[in-house]
Amino acid sequence: MNKPNWIAISVLTGVAMMLSACERGEQVTKESVRPVRAIKVGEAGPLADRWFPGQARAHNEANLSFRVSGPLIVLPGDIVGREYTANEVISRIDPRDYEVQVANIEAQFVRAQASAKRAASEYKREVNIFKEDPGATSQTAVDRRSAQYDQTVADVKSLSASLDAAQDQLEYTYLKAPFDGKVVQQYVQNFEDVRAKQAIVRLLDTSRIEMVVNIPENMISYASYVTNIRVQFDAFKDHPIPAMIKEIGAEASRTTRTYPVTLLMEQPEDFKVLPGMAGRAVADRESVEAGKQHGIVVPISAIFSPDETGTSYVWVFDEQAATVSRREVVTGELTDHGVPVQEGLTPGEWVVTAGVSYLTNGQTVKLLEE
Instruction: Please name the helix (run of DSSP H) or strand (run of DSSP E) that holds residue 231, with its range, or none.
Output: strand 229-233
pLDDT at 325 over 60: yes
Cβ distance 43 to 346 under 8 Å?
A: no
pLDDT for the residue 28: 40
The string of pLDDT tens digits covering residues 88-133 is 999 999 999 999 999 999 999 999 999 999 999 999 998 898 888 8
Q: What is the distance between the alpha carbons of residues 211 and 232, in angstroms, rounded to a whole number? A: 11
pLDDT for the residue 218: 66
Who has greater pLDDT, 327 or 294?
A: 327
Among residues of the chain, what percentage have pLDDT more than 90? 51
Identity of the residue numbered 107:
A
pLDDT at 370 over 70: no
Neighbours of 66 (CB within 10 A): 21
Q: What is the distance between the alpha carbons of residues 354 and 367, in angstroms, rounded to a whole number? A: 11
Q: Model confidence at 27, in pLDDT bands (50, 70, 90)?
A: very low
Q: How far is CA 77 from CA 72, 81, 90, 173, 187, in A?
A: 12, 11, 12, 19, 12
Identity of the residue numbered 71:
P
Identity of the residue numbered 97:
D
Residue 17: which residues within 8 A CB-CB, separation 6 or more?
none
**Average pLDDT of span 217-229:** 73
The string of pLDDT tens digits covering residues 124-178 is 998 898 888 887 888 888 899 999 999 999 999 999 999 999 999 999 999 999 9
Q: Nearest Cα to 244, choosing from 21, 35, 59?
A: 59
Strands of the sheet containing 339-343, edge to edge, are 296-298, 339-343, 323-331, 312-318, 350-352, 34-40, 365-369
Residue 303: which residues within 8 A CB-CB, separation 6 or more?
312, 313, 314, 329, 331, 339
**What domains appear along the chain, each with residue ranges and CATH number?**
34-43+295-369 (2.40.420.20), 52-59+207-291 (2.40.30.170), 67-93+173-201 (2.40.50.100), 96-171 (1.10.287)
* pTM flag (> 0.85): no
Q: What is the pairing mode between strands 258-266 and 229-233? A: unpaired
Residue 11: which residues within 8 A CB-CB, separation 6 or more?
none
The string of pLDDT tens digits covering residues 44-95 is 555 666 889 999 999 999 999 999 999 999 999 899 999 999 999 999 999 9
Q: Nearest Cα to 313, choosing from 330, 293, 337?
A: 330
